[in-house]
Amino acid sequence: LFAHNKQKHEAHAVHAGELFPKGVLGRIADALASGERPFKVGSYSISGNQPIFDGNQVPTAISERHGVAPLAFPALAPSFAALSSAQSASYFAHTHNGVVAKALADVRSLADTLSRATLNKTVDSDGGFESGKGLSAALAQVARLIDVRAHLESERDVFYVSTGGWDHHGEVLEAMTTKLEYVNAAVRTFVEEMKAKGTWEQVTIVTLSEFGRSLTHNGRGTDHGWAGNQMLLGGSLRGAGGGKVHGRYPQSLKNTDSNPVRLKKRGRLIPTTPWEGIWQGVAQWMGVDEAQLDEVLPNRRNFDPSLLLTADELFSPMPPAPPAPPP
């Protein structure tokens, strides 16, 4: 229960009990692409290969530092083209050559498209995105992809970015202050960029972590817990961009049969809202058909419906989408 790798796997899959599950974003993307009104869906990871995307579509990997580079060694391009165009009687070789040729063409096309992106919050400007590696640089890549969505002919996109360094077994107060200021600055820049482009109402950010922390300390910091707090941010959330707490805080921290809030006497809170409760409303908001929700969230019927948030609970009625920039 308290292992990083196992709990990350479960948080990415949202399919407890399945040995080899697809990822929750992969299932959402598949549902959107195959629904009664199919959407053209783009999947992008700015954090390498992530199981949350496992599904029928292969996500596009984007470097937070470099974006998309056609080839690390451009002088080799003619050689790759010659190799991939070679004819062969072997089905394996023929398939391999076709995959390599398509991959090279797709990379060139995406690199060319991303080169047209413009940002109001330019990189390394005052108040702009940061360059190099890190959350701000990753969100800059997401902003670029959103800016060129018309060129990519995207109707729905899912993105994954990450930032580590939250396992605060020591010096938790100092470390948390530093990390939260870092995240706040990166997200603020991204939100301001989305508002400037008129797309904030079409964007929702879901935070994700493998587990929370213990309420009791170990002398210097906190240890692995279970329940924790996550956030939804977006321009269409009900209220002033949200501002509502879902789930239930314990009325008391005293552990009794009627108030089982702690595990192993370390102040490890038991969750009151399942991951399915968050993703159901987000999936509905993105346009997943009601008939597909059991496939997207296979365990949702194991929970009381009151624990499953809906799009109507989370989001205000969507205004007409602004026209995308012309290609």
Residue 95, pLDDT score: 87
Residue 87, pLDDT score: 80
Residue 179, pLDDT score: 94
Q: How crowded is residue 19: how many other Cβ atoms within 10 Å of its Cβ?
A: 5
Residue 8, pLDDT score: 93
**The residue count for the chain:** 327
Residue 313, pLDDT score: 92
Residue 75, pLDDT score: 81
DSSP 119-178: -SS-TTSTTS---SSSHHHHHHHHHHHHHTHHHHT-SEEEEE--------SS-HHHHHHH
Residue ranges of the chain whose pLDDT lies below 50: 319-320
Alpha-carbon distance 204 to 318, whole Å?
12
Alpha-carbon distance 66 to 75, whole Å?
19
Q: Which amino acid is at 188?
A: R
Alpha-carbon distance 60 to 45, whole Å?
6
Residue 144, pLDDT score: 97
Nearest to 157 by CA among 293, 36, 264, 60: 60
Structure tokens at 75: 């002088």
Query: What pLDDT digit, counting tens, does each position of 220-273 carry?
Result: 899 998 888 999 999 999 876 568 888 888 777 777 776 666 666 788 888 889
Residue 325, pLDDT score: 56
Residue 81, pLDDT score: 79
